């Protein structure tokens, strides 16, 4: 239980650090090149981890469907959009919007049962959750009144 929570928290923290690193790479090179580098590194690391955890068995693939080969295009969409969002909005704002959109898409697709997923009904609690989440996001993003524009402290 505790170990699982620690792992989940570690995963979330690593995602943030990764986003920052990717943003740093994107400051020097174009977003296409950043995407290629990020996915290439991810590929190498997953390959190594797979070998470590499964050994020989790693190479015995189950039945492949043709569309599996195109799943990587989603990764391009993810990295390109997130990197550009962070560049334009700054990390905290961009990440909170990404997360809200992520959860709301999941909620929407679950309730219609797309992609062969089991249909999860839309409940009042979920509606409240979505409204609170978006409300929080708006509050976080809202500009202060009377033109106080000093959100960032100059160094």
Token code pair at residue 155: 């160094």
Given candidates 55, 56, 65, 147, which one binds other proteins under the rule CB under 8 A?
65
Shortest Å distance, C-beta 62 to other proteins? 4
Window 76-105: residues binding other proteins (CB under 8 A): 76-78, 81-82, 84-85, 87-105
Given candidates 125, 146, 147, 149, which one binds other proteins under the rule CB under 8 A?
125
- Structural contact between residues 115 and 109, judged by C-beta atoms closer than 8 angstroms: yes
Residues near 82 by Cβ (< 8 Å), separated by ≥ 6? 19, 22, 94, 98
Shortest Å distance, C-beta 119 to other proteins? 14
Window 6-45: residues binding other proteins (CB under 8 A): 7-25, 27-30, 32-33, 35-45
Length of the chain as a residue count: 155
Window 128-147: residues binding other proteins (CB under 8 A): 128-142, 144
Q: Which is nearer to other proteins, 106 or 119 (CB)?
A: 106
- Distance, in Å, from the CA atom of 45 to the CA atom of 60, rounded to the nearest integer, reads 19
Given candidates 56, 112, 116, 121, which one binds other proteins under the rule CB under 8 A?
116
Question: By CB neighbour count within 10 A (0-12 exposed, 13-18 middle, 19+ buried), where does 82 fall?
Answer: buried
Q: Which is nearer to other proteins, 119 or 140 (CB)?
A: 140
Nearest partner of 121 among 139, 136, 105, 107, judged by Cα: 107
């Amino acid at each position: 239980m505790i170990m699982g929570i620690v792992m989940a928290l570690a995963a979330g923290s690593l995602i943030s650090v990764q986003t920052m690193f990717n943003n740093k790479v994107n400051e020097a090179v174009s977003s296409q090149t950043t995407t290629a580098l990020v996915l290439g590194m991810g590929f190498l690391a997953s390959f190594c981890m797979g070998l470590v955890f499964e050994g020989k068995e790693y190479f015995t693939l189950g039945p492949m469907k043709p569309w599996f080969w195109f799943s990587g295009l989603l990764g391009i969409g993810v990295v390109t959009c997130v990197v550009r969002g962070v560049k334009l909005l700054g990390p905290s704002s961009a990440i909170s919007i990404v997360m809200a959109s992520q959860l709301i898409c999941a909620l929407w697709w679950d309730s219609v049962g797309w992609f062969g997923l089991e249909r999860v009904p839309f409940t009042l609690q979920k509606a409240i959750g979505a409204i609170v989440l978006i409300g929080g996001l708006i509050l976080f993003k809202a500009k202060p009144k009377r033109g106080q524009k000093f959100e960032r402290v100059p160094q």
